[in-house]
Amino acid sequence: MNQALSGIRVIDMTHNQAGPACAQILGFLGADVIKLEEPKGGDVARTNMRDKPDSDSLFFLILNANKRSLTLNLKTDEGKALFKKVIAQSDVLLENFGPGALDRLGLGYDALRTVNPRLIYATIKGFGTYGPYSGFKSFEPIAQAMGGAMSVTGFPENPPTYVYPAIGDSGTGMHMAIGILAALQQRHATGQGQHVEVSMQDAVVNLIRVSLRDHQRTGRPMPRNGNQLGRTVPGTTYPCAPGGPNDYVYIFAQPQMWRAFTGAIGQPELTDDPRFKTPDGRWENREALNAIVADWTGQRGKHEVMRILGEAGVPSGACQDTGEVLADPHLRARDMIVDVEYPTRGTYQTVGCPIKLSESPAEVRRPPLLGEHTTEVLAALCGVGADEVTRLREQGVV
């Protein structure tokens, strides 16, 4: 079965998380993603986050499925020449090197568009290639700090808080995937490629736009509100049995769900209680109402609470820890948690494709070993035979 992006070739020159996440999602959707790595060591994530002596790290594996690996030394003339032959037959180049790194190698956008005018040259940078901060490097926490996410996360008595879901890294990668798909679509009409750029700060700002709206509504910085969502009550986390560090449930009972909620918790008399009858009343008397809700949830497990309220039509969710997410039967049923076999590790669990296409479902294939596909890629795209690859390998070119 042809997949949505069958026939699209992506050269993935990225490392760490933002770029690899983008390339992996394109690979899930059917693109031929060739991960281009240095011959000695490859992507630093293979080894510098290693958790098992003889295997690439789990960090590398969860971000590099559905790719082939080609090794090239771009600091050699032969390596650059082979690279340009590959680029001439590719659709997308994805890079997240430090500012100016590829330009110094003579492999920037202006140089490569002469090699392949149809090339989509996709650049991920911490702060982009222009603007006052464009020369600065960035990582996930920096992007969250500069994008405003940390200032609105946490409880008011605590400092701005780092969010562990990688909105700066993987969030940027997903924005870039959208940009690449848009550029490919435009190429159908124009026949020309273009430069696509996403900065980590820009991606974070896009994700906190509602908080920026609130600033403009009130005229002051949005405060940290902990887990409370707006003025809705119930609208926060509540403790559950048996009282472990993650034994909580999030409940969000919108005003039209108030009667369903009180019935579900077995206290229908609260429906018309003067203190709680209106949304404003529930907000003004939230301490008393939250105590009632917490007493009910505290006598039940978080998944039981979620089931009871879910069946009543009231949104709620158990606060699952990472182990519970890996074992979640719903995620398993949706192929979001899948088992993968890797030669040097054995079986590990990873995250599948969140985009479900009815006519071309995604398949998760194991990540490549370093340089695993060098011979076949160079043969197919550069006409280089196996003996020549051996010579190039001996000379440190591949």
Question: H helices then E strands: how many in the chain?
Answer: 18, 11
Residues 139 and 254 in one domain: no
Mean per-residue pLDDT for 188-197?
A: 98
Does a structural domain hold residue 217?
A: no
CATH assignment of the domain containing 347: 3.40.50.10540
SS3 202: helix
* Share in percent of the chain as helix, strand, coil (round to 5): 40, 15, 45
Give the span between the Cα atoms of 120 and 16, in whole angstroms: 21
What's the confidence (pLDDT) of residue 1?
Answer: 56
CA distances from 21 to 24, 66, 168, 250 (A): 5, 11, 12, 29
pLDDT at 369 over 70: yes
* Residue pLDDT, tens place only, 218-273: 999 999 999 999 999 999 999 999 999 999 999 999 999 999 999 999 999 999 99
Counting the structural domains of the chain, the total is: 2
Does a structural domain hold residue 253?
A: yes
Bond preceding residue 255 cis, omega within 30 of 0: no
Residues 295 and 192 in one domain: no
Mean per-residue pLDDT for 327-334?
A: 98
Does a structural domain hold residue 125?
A: yes
Contact 56, 134 (CB under 8 A): no
Tokens of 252: 């969000």
Q: What count of other Cβ atoms lies within 10 Å of the Cβ of residue 211?
A: 16
Residue range of the domain that includes 80: 9-207+331-394
Residues tagged active-site: 169
Residues 263 and 361 in one domain: no
E-state strands within the chain:
9-12, 32-37, 67-71, 92-95, 120-125, 194-199, 235-239, 248-252, 316-318, 337-342, 346-351
* Residue pLDDT, tens place only, 89-141: 999 999 999 888 999 999 999 999 999 999 999 999 999 999 999 999 999 99
